[in-house]
Amino acid sequence: MFRIVSLTTAAVLAASAASASDLRIAYGDLDLATPQGAARLDGRIREAADRLCGGRTSIERLKCRAGVREEALSGLPDRARTEYARGSRAFEA
């Protein structure tokens, strides 16, 4: 099992797996309200999930990656989550 939590204004998410390995997903340098910033965060989350979820069967890996993504995004402060939601969607007027 793993856990991702928000750590203060240092803008870092910490992830720890049962193996006690720690991963940090930095987002303070990204403008999450833009498609580019949201995409960069997605990439960082994918990289963290790949590290945490390696060595599992295909279905376990898919479940693990989805869990990492869900926990990483839910660990974002409300403002960052709102900005990410804006940046993740292409709004057309």
> pTM for the whole thing?
0.72
**Average pLDDT for 31-44:** 95
Give the position of tokens 């898919």.
62
Q: Rg of the Cα trace of the chain?
A: 13
C-beta separation of 68 from 53 below 8 A: yes
Sign of CA dihedral 11, 77, 53, 18: positive
Query: How many angstroms separate the CA atoms of 32 and 55, rounded?
Result: 31
Say if residues 23 and 5 touch (Cβ distance below 8 Å).
no
3-state helix, strand and coil shares in percent for the chain, rounded to the nearest 5: 55, 15, 30
Beta bridge partners of 23: 15
Q: Residue 22: its pLDDT value, please?
A: 62
pLDDT digits over 40-67, tens only?
999 999 999 998 898 888 999 999 999 9
